C-alpha cells in the first residue's frame, strides 16, 4: 500500500500537479452564501462560483479546481456543496450591464460548514450612444427604416428595443435617414437588425453594436440596395390584337430613377421577344414613371401617356386607334389651263411622317399619279399645315409662288405658271470695213441659258443658232443678267477683239471688229500698231506713200476718226495691199 502511494506521488510530480495531502472528504461540506443589496436596488441574478485554490495564491488560475456554483436572484441565500477540503475562492459573476459593482473574491478554508456574506452596492452605470446611418449605394440618405436592437442597449436585457426613423425611440428627429439611441450601457453587446427597409429597397444584413467605453458613440452604416421589379407594356388595337413597332419614352429611367429611357419594341431596351409586348426588368420598386408613346405602330395614332408606380410586376396596356390619313394633289397648268409636265416640288414637313421634308417630281420621285402635270401624294397625315414650294418649274416657265395647305381628306393645289420671259444675244463679226468675218469663237459668262457657268459659241458651229457666217445667235437667254462676252478665237488672219459686257433685256446686239495681223509691202507695220491710236485714213494720201518699216502707230488717235476707206485712194496704192 505504501508503495502504491509513492508511485502515485511520483506520477503526480511528473505531470506537474501540486500535491495536496488532504483534498478529499468523505461527506460534502456546505458553503452557505448570503447575498445582500441596497434597499430598493434593481433585482437581478448573481452567480457565485467556488474554486479550490490548489497553489494557495488567492487567484483563480489554470491549476485550480472548480467546485460548484449557485445563482441567487436579488437578496437571498444559496449553498454550494464541496467535497474538496482546503483553501477555496468564492467568485461573483454579474450579468452584462449589471447595475451593481463587482464584489471582490472571498477566500475561505473548507474543513467544515462555512458561511459567507457578500454585499453589492449599486454602481453609477457608464453609458454611450448608438447611431444608425441609412444610405443607398450612392451614399444618399434613405428615410423610413425601422430597426430592432437586441438586447435593449439601455437596460441590457430583453425585450429588444424598436427604433423607427423619425418616430418611436429615435432621438435624431429632423434628420431623416439617421437614427440615434443614447444611454446605452457600456459592455453590452447588441445585434442591430433592419426589420423594415425604406420603400423600394431590400433590408441590409444585421450588424453588431458594442459600446466599450463611457461616452463612446458607435456608428453603424446600413446600405440598402433597391428592390427590383419589372414593367410590361402591351400594345394592342381596338380589337385587342397585338401591334408591333411602337417606341416609348419612360421618365424617369425605371432602372436608375433619373433621366429617361427609350424603349423600342423588339429593339432598344426591350427584354421581350414578342412583337407588341415590351418588357423592362431591374426596375426600382416604388419609382413613379410617366410612359409616353412617341412612335405609334405604322398606320396608328399614338395613345395618351400613362403614369405607373413600379412594383414587383406591373403591366400597362396602350390601345391605338387607326390613323386617319388623306391625300394631296398638285395640278400644274399654264395660264390657259393646259397641263404642264416636268415640275418638281418640296413639301414641308413630310406629309407621310410629319417631320423633315419630301421632294416630289412629276412622273418621278414620290409622284403617285401617272398623268404629266398631276402630282399625287396619298397616306398624308391630317390636320397638319404644309408648305408646298415649286423648286423646278416646267421648261420655259417661271416657278409659281409657294402655297400652304392643311390636309383634311383630299386637298387640291393648282400651280399656274407664267411663260418665262427670255431674250436673245446676237454677235456680229466684221472687219474694219464692216464686212462680215466668219470663223470666230466666243465664251459667254455666265451661261445665258442657265445663269451659271459659261457657254462656248462657235460661228456656224457649237451653240450658234444663226446660219449666217459672221453672225452668232444665242436665244432663250435669261433677262436682267450682265454677261461678259470674250472672243477666244478670231477669224483667220485677224486679231481678237477686246471683251465686251451686255445686259439682256429683249434682243441685244454686239459688234466685234477685227483687224488684220498681216504685213504691208516689204516693210513691217511696226509689228502691228495698236489701231486705237491712229488718226483718220483721209490724211494718208493712199498707201503708195508707205515706204515700209514704219514705226509704232500708237500715237495716231482712235480708229473712229478714220472716215472710212474712201479717203485712201483705193487699196491699189498700198503696195500690194
CA 37 to CA 119: how far, in whole Å?
Answer: 6
The domain ranges of the chain are: 21-119, 127-225, 228-322, 325-419, 422-516, 531-574
Matching CATH topology for 21-119 and 422-516?
yes
The count of other CB atoms within 10 Å of the CB of residue 243 is: 20
Res 354: pLDDT = 86
Res 97: pLDDT = 67
Q: Which of 117, 120, 78 is nearest to 99 (CA)?
A: 120
Res 26: pLDDT = 55
pLDDT digit string, tens, across residues 537-577 = 333 333 333 333 333 333 333 333 333 333 333 333 333 32
What mean pLDDT do residues 460-484 have? 93
pLDDT digit string, tens, across residues 147-166 = 999 999 999 999 999 999 99
Average per-residue pLDDT for the chain: 83
Res 80: pLDDT = 95
Dihedral sign for Cα 154, 159, 163, 169, please.
negative
pTM: 0.37
**CATH number among 2.60.40.1180, 3.30.930.10, 2.160.10.10, 2.60.40.10, domain 325-419:** 2.60.40.10
Q: Which pairing describes strands 313-322 and 288-295: parallel, antiparallel, or unpaired? A: unpaired
What mean pLDDT do residues 255-279 have? 96
Res 557: pLDDT = 34
CATH class of 21-119: mainly beta
Please say whether the structural domain 422-516 has been given the CATH code 2.60.40.10.
yes
What mean pLDDT do residues 385-394 have? 93
**Cβ pair 89, 56 in contact under 8 A:** no
**CATH number among 3.30.565.10, 2.60.40.10, 3.40.50.2300, 2.40.70.10, domain 127-225:** 2.60.40.10
What mean pLDDT do residues 366-388 have? 91
Three-class DSSP category at 5: helix
Q: Which residue in this structure is represented by grid cell 462657235?
A: 458
Core vs surface per residue 246-281: b (16+ CB within 10 A) or e: bbbbbebbbbebeeebebebeeebbebeebbbbbbe
Dihedral sign for Cα 406, 407, 408, 410, please.
positive
Q: Which pairing describes strands 146-150 and 189-196: parallel, antiparallel, or unpaired? A: antiparallel
Q: Which pairing describes strands 385-392 and 403-406: parallel, antiparallel, or unpaired? A: antiparallel
CA 498 to CA 568: how far, in whole Å?
Answer: 26
pLDDT digit string, tens, across residues 42-94 = 889 999 999 999 999 999 999 999 999 999 999 999 999 999 999 999 999 99
Split at pLDDT 50, 70, 90, the class of 511 is: confident
Q: Which CATH superfamily is domain 228-322 in?
A: Immunoglobulins (2.60.40.10)
Amino acid at each position: 500500500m505504501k508503495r502504491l502511494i509513492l508511485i502515485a506521488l511520483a506520477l503526480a510530480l511528473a505531470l506537474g500537479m501540486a500535491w495536496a495531502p488532504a483534498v478529499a472528504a468523505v461527506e460534502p461540506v456546505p458553503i452557505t452564501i448570503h447575498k445582500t443589496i441596497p434597499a430598493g436596488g434593481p433585482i437581478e441574478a448573481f452567480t457565485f462560483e467556488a474554486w479550490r485554490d490548489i497553489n494557495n495564491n488567492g487567484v483563480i488560475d489554470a491549476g485550480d479546481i472548480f467546485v460548484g456554483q449557485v445563482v441567487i436572484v436579488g437578496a437571498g441565500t444559496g449553498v454550494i456543496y464541496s467535497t474538496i477540503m482546503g483553501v477555496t475562492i468564492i467568485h461573483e459573476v454579474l450579468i452584462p450591464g449589471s447595475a451593481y459593482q463587482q464584489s471582490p473574491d472571498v477566500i475561505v478554508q473548507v474543513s467544515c460548514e462555512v458561511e459567507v456574506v457578500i454585499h453589492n452596492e449599486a454602481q453609477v452605470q457608464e453609458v454611450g450612444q448608438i447611431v444608425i446611418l441609412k444610405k443607398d449605394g450612392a451614399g444618399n440618405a434613405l428615410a423610413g427604416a425601422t430597426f430592432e436592437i437586441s438586447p435593449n442597449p439601455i437596460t441590457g436585457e430583453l425585450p429588444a428595443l424598436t427604433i423607427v426613423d423619425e418616430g418611436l425611440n429615435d432621438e435624431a428627429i429632423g434628420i431623416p435617414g439617421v437614427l440615434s439611441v443614447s444611454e446605452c450601457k457600456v459592455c453590452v453587446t447588441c445585434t442591430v437588425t433592419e426589420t423594415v427597409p425604406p420603400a423600394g429597397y431590400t433590408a441590409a444584413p444585421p450588424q453588431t453594436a458594442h459600446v466599450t467605453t463611457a461616452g463612446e458613440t458607435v456608428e453603424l452604416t446600413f446600405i440598402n440596395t433597391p428592390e427590383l421589379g419589372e414593367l410590361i407594356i402591351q400594345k394592342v388595337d381596338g380589337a385587342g390584337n397585338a401591334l408591333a413597332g411602337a417606341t416609348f419614352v419612360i421618365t424617369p429611367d425605371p432602372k436608375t430613377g433619373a433621366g429617361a429611357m427609350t424603349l423600342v419594341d423588339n429593339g432598344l431596351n426591350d427584354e421581350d421577344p414578342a412583337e407588341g409586348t415590351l418588357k423592362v426588368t431591374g426596375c426600382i420598386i416604388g419609382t413613379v414613371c410617366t410612359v409616353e408613346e412617341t412612335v405609334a405602330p405604322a398606320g396608328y395614332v399614338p395613345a395618351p401617356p400613362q403614369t405607373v408606380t413600379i412594383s414587383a410586376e406591373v403591366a400597362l396596356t396602350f390601345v391605338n386607334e387607326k390613323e386617319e390619313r388623306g391625300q394631296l394633289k398638285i395640278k400644274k397648268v399654264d395660264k390657259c389651263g393646259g397641263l404642264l409636265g416636268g415640275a418638281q416640288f418640296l413639301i414641308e414637313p413630310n406629309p407621310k411622317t410629319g417631320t423633315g421634308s419630301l421632294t416630289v417630281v412629276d412622273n418621278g420621285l414620290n409622284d403617285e399619279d401617272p398623268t404629266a402635270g398631276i402630282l399625287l401624294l396619298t397616306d398624308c397625315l391630317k390636320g397638319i399645315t404644309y408648305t408646298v414650294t415649286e423648286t423646278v418649274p416646267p421648261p420655259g416657265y417661271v416657278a409659281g409662288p409657294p402655297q400652304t395647305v392643311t390636309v383634311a381628306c383630299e386637298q387640291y393645289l393648282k400651280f399656274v405658271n407664267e411663260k418665262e420671259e427670255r431674250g436673245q444675244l446676237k454677235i456680229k463679226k466684221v472687219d474694219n470695213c464692216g464686212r462680215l468675218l466668219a470663223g470666230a469663237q466666243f465664251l459667254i459668262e455666265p451661261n445665258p441659258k442657265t445663269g451659271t457657268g459659261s457657254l462656248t459659241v462657235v460661228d456656224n458651229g457649237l451653240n450658234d443658232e444663226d446660219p449666217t457666217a459672221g453672225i452668232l445667235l444665242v436665244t432663250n437667254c435669261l433677262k436682267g443678267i450682265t454677261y461678259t462676252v470674250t472672243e477666244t478665237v478670231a477669224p483667220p488672219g485677224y486679231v481678237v477683239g477686246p471683251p465686251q459686257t451686255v445686259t439682256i433685256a429683249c434682243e441685244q446686239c454686239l459688234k466685234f471688229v477685227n483687224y488684220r495681223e498681216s504685213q504691208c509691202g516689204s516693210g513691217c507695220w511696226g509689228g502691228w500698231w495698236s489701231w486705237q491710236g491712229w488718226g483718220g485714213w483721209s490724211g494718208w494720201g493712199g498707201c503708195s506713200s508707205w515706204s515700209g518699216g514704219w514705226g509704232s502707230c500708237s500715237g495716231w488717235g482712235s480708229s473712229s476718226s478714220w472716215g472710212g476707206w474712201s479717203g485712201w485712194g483705193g487699196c491699189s496704192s498700198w503696195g500690194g495691199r
